[in-house]
């Protein structure tokens, strides 16, 4: 028993001694703080959970912004503050300019020779120069701007066609954004489209999708093997085989693209002796690299070309698509921000054309939306790892050579000491900021220093153009809720299957006009813009933009007019209802007054043929004249046309008005029902009601003074009823004129 207990306790004691010893040594060597304990073999890997950036943020908030972690066999410096990130990427930038030896770099970086994974040196500087000067320079981007404009127009038009005939159709936008971004990059790189309504899904597109899917799937497995090499023999032994297969697929795909362009160049050179190289204005990136290969074949090998093309294609498409999708999702969750952005575009760009790349720089609120999106959801939550080539000092601590540097961008962007309400989407926080001076290292979506992303300007341009066009050309609303969870190291919103978005009042459904829009003046949407003259293509695209935007504006104006007309009709309907109620009340009051006159033996007329229920009292001179006539049969005309809707004898008998016993008559202020004291309709106008007065019996002599007072009040009530009905009829007539 004691032996078994000893075997059980001994490993625990050894692990504890190892952790304590390591912790003490770190303090003696002036290393950054390290969480306790660091377990044998795995170190601090037990602290990591999905998603990694959040678990690392929790550790940083507990132990400090600079941490020294032991992840398996690797020493890691974790940085989570702007000041320390600046110190690492400026003061110590040269020391941290290398990359660690990881499996991704071996297989996807062509044995650490690619732009992303190559160590700092002459080879890396040449690749960086080619990227910045030949491929991604502002001049080259301007030459290829017509491609981006054309694909933006295609995105807008395809979204319209999807909802044509059914403006309330639910639309899943995620795939449309991916296809837009991917087509922009493939046309800039290879001159060819792989997705779209007019492009049947090609074999190449399927291969690219498969490569992307397999690469994402194997990413986590490579991380485990990189930090725990022993895991190659425990369930992860096939990781390198998978990586090798993916690399072969990538190489075959890009080599086919290169060979295809070589054949095209050879054919055009053979057609005519004067057919030299295509105009530089229409050259794709592949053609530029082939030109460089022709001048320096010993350096620009096919592997180098494949390397550069894959870095641009995969790095640009994944990060830009994720950023665009997050921006769109956040706008749908914040409709007031969406309306404000649309108002800015309408005010600055106007209604005569679509937004262009030059407009994006003049739309500060749109740019703030993009920056806030990159702050909340950076495409890379943790920058690609750096590697220290020598010992250095960071934050007063000693960092030994051979340490991997991880910069937790997500934690820097969500630090409450740097950003107020860091979890809220609030683009207004960037108002008044000098983006270069004030932001500094508070915002690092593309990294900084020598290893910063070379495609930052291109990515921001495409995101701004795509997002601005969607805001300008469509009114959007979401259907259901968006699951705003994050997934992966390069993360994206995970949407539920039933979540999508609905475009409202998209573009006027003038099918012939919309279908008549031919991209860049050609019937074939897949035609390469390199065959067109630059200025003519831009002019043609601008004309198409104007036509498309005009339809959107016309649709929006028609929608506003329809809403206004609907509101007027609702107002008229309510007015007519009130008019009917008022008329009904007035007629009931007049019926009662008629009965009251009957009880007093005052003559009245019941002719309904002329005045539609209105009283004409023009021949009524005074109450005394009526009193003098009460003892004789009245002549027709003494009271003219007291025009009310008479009721049958049975109805009159049910009115419960006692007209002969003299017990109940009414003066202004009373009730119409003498039994309960309330009007049956509860709509009595007190100015029209009457109060009890003494009424003589049927054969009793009438007191002239009492009769004068009573009849005068009755006539005043009749005149008020007439004026009320006339006023009501006039309001109704004027309302009908306005609506007509």
Q: Which of the two residues, 564 and 247, has the higher pLDDT score? A: 247
Can you give the pLDDT at residue 511?
33
Mean pLDDT of 712-727: 75
Can you give the pLDDT at residue 514?
32
Can you give the pLDDT at residue 444?
92
* 669 assigned to some structural domain: yes
Q: Find the angle CA(618)-CA(620)-CA(624) to the nearest 5 degrees.
A: 160
* 458 assigned to some structural domain: yes
Tokens of residue 695, six digits: 């009424």
Phi then psi for residue 105, to 5 deg, are: -70, -35
Can you give the pLDDT at residue 413?
95
Buried b (16+ CB within 10 A) or exposed e, 124-157: beebbebbeebbbeeebbebbbbbbbbbbbbbbb
Q: Which of the two residues, 600 and 355, has the higher pLDDT score? A: 355
Q: Which of the two residues, 24 and 387, has the higher pLDDT score? A: 387
Q: Where are the beta strands (DSSP E) in 290-409?
A: 386-387, 392-394, 397-399, 404-407
Per-residue model confidence as pLDDT tens digits over 319-372: 888 899 899 989 988 999 999 999 999 999 987 888 999 999 899 999 999 999
> Which residues constitute the domain of residue 588?
578-739
399 pLDDT exceeds 90?
A: yes
* 152 assigned to some structural domain: yes
| Beta carbons of 286 and 262 less than 8 angstroms apart | no
Tokens of residue 619, six digits: 């021949």
Q: Say if residue 484 is in the same domain as residue 339.
A: yes
65 pLDDT exceeds 70?
A: yes
Q: Say if residue 521 is in the same domain as residue 585.
A: no
496 pLDDT exceeds 90?
A: no
Closest of 236, 479, 250, 507 to residue 354, by C-alpha: 507
pLDDT band at 14 (very low <50, low <70, confident <90, very high): low
Q: Say if residue 364 is in the same domain as residue 510.
A: yes
Q: Say if residue 455 is in the same domain as residue 583.
A: no
731 pLDDT exceeds 60?
A: yes
* 32 assigned to some structural domain: no
699 pLDDT exceeds 90?
A: no
Q: Which H/E stretch holds residue 533?
A: none
The crossing angle, in degrees rounded to 10, of helices 174-189 and 456-473 is 130
- Give the residue from 499, 532, 565 where a domain finishes: 532
CATH number for 389: 1.10.630.10
- Give the residue from 477, 505, 532 where a domain finishes: 532
* 175 assigned to some structural domain: yes
Q: Which of the two residues, 525 and 24, has the higher pLDDT score? A: 24
483 pLDDT exceeds 80?
A: no
pLDDT band at 36 (very low <50, low <70, confident <90, very high): confident
Beta bridge partners of 476: 503
Q: Say if residue 526 is in the same domain as residue 582.
A: no
Closest of 176, 173, 184 to residue 155, by C-alpha: 176
Tokens of residue 356, six digits: 């262009």
DSSP 8-class letter at 280: G
Per-residue model confidence as pLDDT tens digits over 194-252: 887 656 556 777 888 788 778 777 766 667 788 888 777 776 677 888 888 999 998 99
Which residues define the annotated binding site for heme?
453
Q: Say if residue 306 is in the same domain as residue 411.
A: yes
Q: Say if residue 528 is in the same domain as residue 593.
A: no
Q: Which residues contact 201 (CB under 8 A, 6 or more apart)?
A: 195
- Pick the most confident of 286-290, 532-536, 542-546, 680-684: 286-290
Q: Say if residue 371 is in the same domain as residue 517.
A: yes
Mean pLDDT of 505-517: 34
Q: Say if residue 515 is in the same domain as residue 643.
A: no
- Give the residue from 532, 563, 592 where a domain finishes: 532
Which residues define the annotated binding site?
453
Structural domain count of the chain: 2
Average pLDDT of the chain, as a whole number? 73
CB atoms closer than 10 angstroms to residue 28: 8
Q: Which H/E stretch holds residue 529?
A: none
Can you give the pLDDT at residue 686?
42
Q: Say if residue 213 is in the same domain as residue 359.
A: yes
Q: For the chain, what percent of residues have pLDDT higher than 70?
A: 63
Q: What's the CA gap between 450 and 152, in Å, rounded?
A: 32
Q: What's the CA gap between 462 and 284, in Å, rounded?
A: 17
Can you give the pLDDT at residue 628?
44
Mean pLDDT of 554-578: 72
Can you give the pLDDT at residue 66?
94
From 402-411, 555-564, 647-656, the region with the lowest mean pLDDT: 647-656
732 pLDDT exceeds 60?
A: yes
Can you give the pLDDT at residue 157?
85
* 524 assigned to some structural domain: yes
Phi then psi for residue 190, to 5 deg, are: -115, -15
* 131 assigned to some structural domain: yes
Phi then psi for residue 217, to 5 deg, are: -70, -35
717 pLDDT exceeds 90?
A: no
Can you give the pLDDT at residue 607?
42
- Pick the most confident of 111-125, 172-186, 278-292, 568-582: 111-125
| H, E, C per residue of 664-704 | CCCCCCCCCCCCCCCCCCCCCCHHHCCCCCCCCCCCCCCCH
Mean pLDDT of 301-310: 90
Q: Say if residue 600 is in the same domain as residue 729.
A: yes
pLDDT band at 616 (very low <50, low <70, confident <90, very high): very low
| Beta carbons of 100 and 387 less than 8 angstroms apart | yes
Can you give the pLDDT at residue 77?
96
* 75 assigned to some structural domain: no
Cα→Cα distances 337→138, 237, 357, 445, 461, Å: 31, 50, 21, 22, 20
Q: Say if residue 403 is in the same domain as residue 459.
A: yes
pLDDT band at 538 (very low <50, low <70, confident <90, very high): very low
From 100-109, 190-199, 412-421, 654-663, the region with the lowest mean pLDDT: 654-663
Closest of 554, 405, 582, 466 to residue 158, by C-alpha: 466
Q: Which residues contact 211 (CB under 8 A, 6 or more apart)?
A: 246, 249, 250, 253
Q: Which residues contact 536 (CB under 8 A, 6 or more apart)?
A: 521
């Amino acid at each position: 028993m004691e032996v078994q207990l000893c075997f059980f306790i001994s490993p625990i004691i050894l692990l504890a001694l190892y952790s304590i010893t390591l912790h003490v040594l770190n303090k003696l060597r002036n290393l950054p703080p390290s969480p306790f304990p660091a377990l044998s073999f795995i170190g601090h890997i037990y602290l990591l959970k999905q998603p990694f950036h959040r678990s690392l943020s929790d550790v940083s908030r507990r132990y400090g912004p600079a941490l020294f972690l032991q992840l398996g066999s690797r020493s890691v410096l974790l940085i989570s503050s702007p000041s320390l990130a600046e110190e690492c990427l400026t003061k110590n930038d040269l020391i941290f300019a290398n990359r660690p030896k990881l499996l991704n770099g071996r297989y996807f970086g062509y044995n650490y020779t690619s732009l992303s994974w190559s160590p700092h040196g002459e080879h890396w500087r040449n690749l960086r120069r080619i990227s910045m000067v030949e491929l991604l320079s502002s001049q080259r981007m301007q030459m290829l701007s017509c491609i981006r404009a054309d694909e933006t127009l295609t995105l807008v038009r395809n979204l319209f066609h999807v909802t044509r005939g059914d403006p309330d159709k639910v639309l899943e936008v995620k795939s449309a954004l991916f296809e837009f971004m991917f087509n922009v990059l493939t046309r800039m790189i290879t001159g060819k489209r792989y997705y779209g309504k007019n492009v049947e899904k090609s074999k190449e597109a399927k291969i690219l999708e498969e490569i992307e899917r397999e690469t994402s799937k194997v990413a986590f497995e490579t991380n485990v093997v990189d930090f725990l090499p022993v895991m190659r023999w425990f369930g992860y032994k096939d990781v390198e085989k998978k990586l090798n297969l993916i690399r072969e697929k990538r190489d075959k795909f890009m080599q086919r693209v290169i060979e295809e362009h070589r054949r095209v160049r050879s054919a055009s050179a053979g057609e005519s002796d004067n057919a030299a190289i295509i105009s530089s204005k229409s050259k794709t990136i592949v053609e530029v690299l082939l030109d460089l290969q022709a001048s320096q074949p010993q350096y620009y090998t096919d592997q180098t070309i494949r390397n550069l093309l894959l870095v641009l294609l995969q790095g640009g498409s994944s990060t830009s698509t994720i950023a665009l999708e997050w921006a769109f999702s956040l706008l749908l969750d914040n409709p007031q921000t969406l309306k404000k952005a649309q108002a800015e575009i309408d005010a600055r760009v106007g209604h005569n054309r679509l937004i262009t790349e030059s407009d994006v720089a003049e739309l500060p609120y749109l740019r703030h939306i993009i920056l806030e999106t990159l702050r909340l959801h950076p495409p890379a939550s943790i920058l690609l790892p750096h590697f220290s080539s020598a010992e250095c000092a960071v934050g007063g601590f000693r960092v030994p050579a051979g340490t991997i540097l991880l910069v937790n961008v997500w934690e820097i962007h969500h630090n409450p000491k740097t950003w107020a309400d860091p979890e809220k989407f609030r683009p207004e926080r960037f108002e008044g900021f000098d983006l270069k001076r004030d932001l500094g290292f508070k915002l690092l979506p593309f990294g900084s220093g020598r290893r910063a992303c070379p495609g930052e300007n291109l990515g921001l341009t495409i995101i701004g153009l795509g997002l601005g066009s969607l805001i300008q050309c469509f009114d959007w609303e979401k259907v259901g809720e968006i699951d705003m969870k994050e997934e992966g190291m390069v993360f994206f919103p995970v949407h539920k299957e039933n979540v999508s978005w609905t475009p409202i009042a998209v573009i006027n459904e003038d099918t012939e006009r919309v279908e008549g829009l031919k991209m860049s003046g050609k019937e074939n949407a897949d035609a390469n813009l390199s065959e067109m003259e630059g200025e003519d293509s831009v002019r043609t695209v601008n004309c198409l933009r104007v036509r498309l935007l005009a339809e959107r504006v016309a649709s929006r104006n028609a929608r506003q007019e329809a809403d206004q007309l609907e509101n007027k009709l609702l107002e008229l309907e309510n007015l007519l209802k009130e008019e009917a109620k008022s008329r009904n009340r007035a007629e009931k009051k007049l019926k009662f007054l008629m009965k009251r006159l009957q009880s007093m033996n005052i003559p009245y007329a019941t002719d309904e043929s002329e005045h539609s229920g209105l009283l004409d009292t023009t021949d009524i001179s005074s109450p005394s004249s009526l009193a003098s006539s009460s003892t004789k049969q009245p002549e027709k005309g003494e009271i003219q046309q007291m025009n009310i809707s008479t009721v049958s004898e049975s109805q009159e008998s049910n009115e419960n008005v006692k007209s002969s016993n003299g017990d109940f008559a009414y003066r202004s202020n009373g009730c119409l029902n003498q039994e309960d004291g309330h009007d049956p309709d509860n709509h009595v106008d007190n100015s029209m009601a009457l109060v009890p007065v003494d009424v003589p019996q049927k054969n009793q002599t009438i007191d002239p003074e009492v009769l004068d007072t009573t009849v005068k009040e009755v006539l005043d009530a009749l005149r008020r009823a007439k004026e009320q009905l006339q006023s009501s009829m006039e309001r109704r007539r004027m309302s009908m004129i306005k609506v007509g």
